[in-house]
Amino acid sequence: FAFAAGLGINSFLATTVVGTLSWPEAMGLVVINGAIIVLLAVTGLRRLVFDAVPMQLKLAITAGIGLFILFIGLVDAGFISSTGLPSPPVGLGTGGNGSITTIPTLVFVGTLLLTGVLVVRRVRGGILLGLLAGTVVAVAVAAIWHLGAEVDHPGGWSLSVPTLSGSPFALPDLALVGDVSFTSFGRIGVLAATMLVFTLVFANFFDAMGTFTGLSRQAGIADPQGTFPRLRTALIVEGAGAVVGGSTSASSNTVFIESGAGIEEGARTGLANLVTGGLFLAAMFVAPLAEIVPTEVAAAALVIVGAMMFSQLRHVDISEFSVALPVVLTVASMPFSYSIANGIGVGFVTWVVVRSAAGKGREIS
């Protein structure tokens, strides 16, 4: 399991916390959140919650995360966009206008199909080869048509233009490391600060639980109950990641779903992610080179990995409606609400209510 800053928590910090609090104060809350997560893991309470989730919901969480990844890829590529209308809320192409004929989106489609063929043919490193091939095509296209960024040129690249201007090397800016403050409780009040910490803990707790569940199933290391070797250690380290992330002023670090790309290529031990971590350290100095890969090309890998994870749903027997409803709602809520934690919450509540009504109350933990 590879770690990076959790994007869901990043979004919450950026849209809700920062503004009410300064960045150092927000990072102080992240550190407190991580300490609570570690305490829950050390005492065994976090493992208790993990084990209490029924297997059907664990599989639904895996499939939901897969569909979430796939949906993120389609949105990032401009293949699906918001229409800004009540109905339909989304549609094909930029602005949901029904057209996917912009050149960047066509590059995404080509990269997706090529990567899919390589994976189907079981070519070693198929996802990476697809990314490299798509990036080469994108660089050539950018040099010929000069599309620019979509914000300035409709039909252009969404986030990063695949061109290199200047040196491929740059020194990282580490000015924010250690910029942490715990003064928020005095400035906005104990209750308000506590509620922000609770929200961080909830999101961190259940996002990580869902991701661990999905990735361990994908790796084939989960037992029939959905747990995996050294789970308690993994939960402690994941909480420590939040402490380290906050203390370095880099948001909350957590296990991230893109680890599925490495798992699909054969990663089964921590050695794979020691390499991942080493490459991330090196990438700090070659950020201009890494930025050449456009979002449309990277999105193809997300769609491939998402489809792989979604296939775990085949292990769930949904012939019984009291199982089908919470499973389907769990899977659907994650991409539609853009949140793993929301999907888990919807699934938990629905499971308890519907299974109780079906006379299965004694089976509920």
pLDDT digit string, tens, across residues 246-289 = 999 888 898 987 788 889 888 998 899 899 999 989 888 988 88
Average pLDDT over residues 193-221: 85
- pLDDT tens per residue, range 19-34: 889 999 999 999 999 9
| Confidence (pLDDT) at 11 | 67
Say yes or no to pLDDT of 14 above 80. no
Say yes or no to pLDDT of 8 above 70. no
- pLDDT above 70 covers a percentage of the chain that reads 99
| Confidence (pLDDT) at 25 | 95
Say yes or no to pLDDT of 167 above 70. yes
Structure confidence at residue 79 as a pLDDT band (50, 70, 90): very high
| Confidence (pLDDT) at 359 | 94
Say yes or no to pLDDT of 341 above 80. no
Query: pTM for this structure?
Result: 0.74
For 67, 110, 129, 303, the CA distances from 114, given in Å and listed in that order, are: 20, 6, 9, 12
| Confidence (pLDDT) at 4 | 87
Provide the residue type at 351 as one letter: W
| Confidence (pLDDT) at 29 | 94
Average pLDDT over residues 200-206: 82
Average pLDDT over residues 149-155: 83
Average pLDDT over residues 308-332: 91
Burial class (CB in 10 A: 0-12, 13-18, 19+), 165: exposed
Higher-scoring residue by pLDDT: 134, 214: 134
| Confidence (pLDDT) at 353 | 97
| CB of 26 closer than 8 Å to CB of 192 | no
- pLDDT tens per residue, range 102-111: 999 999 999 9
| Confidence (pLDDT) at 7 | 65
Higher-scoring residue by pLDDT: 321, 146: 321
Beta strands per DSSP E along the chain:
3-5, 80-82, 90-92, 253-255
- pLDDT tens per residue, range 172-195: 888 889 999 999 999 999 988 998
- ω into residue 88 within 30 of 0, thus cis? yes
Average pLDDT over residues 125-142: 93
Ramachandran angles phi, psi of 176, nearest 5°? -85, -10
Q: Which letter, b or e, does each residue of 122-150 get, where b requires 16 or more Cβ atoms within 10 Å of its Cβ?
A: eeeebbeebbebbbebbbebbeeeebeeb
Tokens at 183, concatenated: 């003064």
Tokens at 349, concatenated: 């509540």
Ramachandran angles phi, psi of 21, nearest 5°? -120, 160
| CB of 66 closer than 8 Å to CB of 282 | no
- pLDDT above 90 covers a percentage of the chain that reads 44
Structure confidence at residue 101 as a pLDDT band (50, 70, 90): confident
Sign of the torsion formed by the C-alpha atoms of 121, 313, 12 and 212: negative
Q: What is the mean pLDDT of the chain?
A: 89
